A and B are shown apart, each in its own frame.
Chain A
């Protein structure tokens, strides 16, 4: 009967392991992505922030085709928007930034207003409590106005979703903005904005 006894013990052990596994499964929490994990997730490796951009262009008579103009403007806009999201959210984690880098992306006549409304444009006051920001998606739609041969201005609808890690756990970060952009010699500046952060409506 010893084989029976050994096999019974093995069976009991296997059942116990299964039971524990089943118990763990049933007791695990189902959480929406990006919401509380209960523990602080270790910051993952920094991911390159790429903004998925769909652009159209309004061109003058005799200028480049709208399609070609949009293609020509897109890389510069993507770089600018990626930089904006990086300084406003990813690099802002930890709260040591004084926002000078972010405010430098704004046209001078709107810079003071931007400084007063950082919470609607970036991590803002939450930044000191955030150890890392992990982007999920960044997308934009742009209408680019051409001058004679070059982009002169653009309207951009920007959407950004990310997970931010804090000492209490992780939470979602969202940005939905309409940015009116002015082309400068070396890129773009934000000339006006209508922006909100926080939970989606």
Chain B
């Protein structure tokens, strides 16, 4: 038996259905709205890590003494044959670095400094390497200064030129107008980006300079510090430049610094302000010995060595 549905109940069913359709349509409209990203109020993000930044370079906690040597040999491009380490040491800088206080000194020695050479009497300091290679030159410096030389680094005319060209010039504060045709140095005073050949000329110019060998030694120290500043600037822009510089040194410099130490020192060097490193020409005066012109160290030189031994680099 079929029971007819009362009209009122049929109406209620339709109203319910229509209501559901309307609600569904409303729901679909809401669902079709572009989704807003969850806000912090809706879904607070879980903070796992706060922002932290940190950096460090190797803590080499001791004084480092490095002898940098520019040889007059081993430079075929400049017609200088032979081996670098058996030539004369025409550019000599003693780099003393306080790694804790990140201060240092570059002490420049005139090549004609007349000093005792172990086993070879007294002679110009640049002859020591020709007599016995870098080890005898190091021994000569140790006897002269009372400092223990940790390492040496040796390059040539070709090496210096190639280093500068490969790293893309070095910035140096040229401290005088230079017109030295003997060294090929033609530079105006001021901040200059020197190419390899210009850097070499600046390091060699002597004959036309008022201070002669003294000015030359100072310029060599400036070049070293300019190289440090250039290195730091490049590494700040691109940390991988550390590898570029180390690669250039690998190819152009002979040194007894073990590679792990070389890397640590290079990384440390990125944090030593060049302004904290003094360029100090060793106190000396022109003289003669046996008819040859030489440079004699003054008492102030020995006082300077004493201060360096005591760690007074300021």
A residues sitting closer than 8 Å to B (CB atoms) are: 1-2, 4-5, 8, 11-12, 15-16, 18-19, 22-23, 25-26, 29-32, 35-36, 38, 58, 60-61, 107, 109-110, 112-114, 116-117, 119-121, 123-124, 126, 129-130, 143-145, 147, 152-155, 157, 164, 166, 168-174, 178, 180, 182, 191-199
Contact = CB atoms under 8 A, between A and B. Distances in A.
Interface in B16-55: 16-17, 20-21, 23-24, 27-28, 30-31, 33, 35-38, 42-55
Contacts of A5: 5, 13
Contacts of A116: 54
Contact of A173 (B49, B246, B251): B49
Interface string B246-268: 11001100000001100110010
Nearest to B28: A22
Contacts of B13: 5, 8, 12
Contact of A2 (B2, B33, B244): B2
13 contacts: A5-B5, A15-B21, A31-B37, A109-B264, A113-B54, A114-B56, A117-B55, A147-B250, A153-B243, A155-B240, A174-B49, A191-B260, A199-B51
Given A15-B24, A58-B244, A113-B56, A191 B263 contact: yes
B58 A143 contact: no
A197 B51 contact: yes
A124 B52 CA distance: 10
A197 B52 contact: yes
A22 B264 contact: no
A61 B36 CA distance: 59
A52 B244 CA distance: 23
Contact of A180 (B23, B31, B51, B242): B242
Contacts of B46: 35-36, 166, 168-171
A197 B54 CA distance: 9
**What secondary structure prevails in chain A residues at the interface with B?**
mixed
A153 B244 CA distance: 11
Given A30-B36, A164-B48, A22 B54 contact: no
Contacts of B16: 12
B298 interface: no
A149 to B, nearest CB: 13
Contact of B55 (A112, A182, A195): A195
Nearest to B47: A171
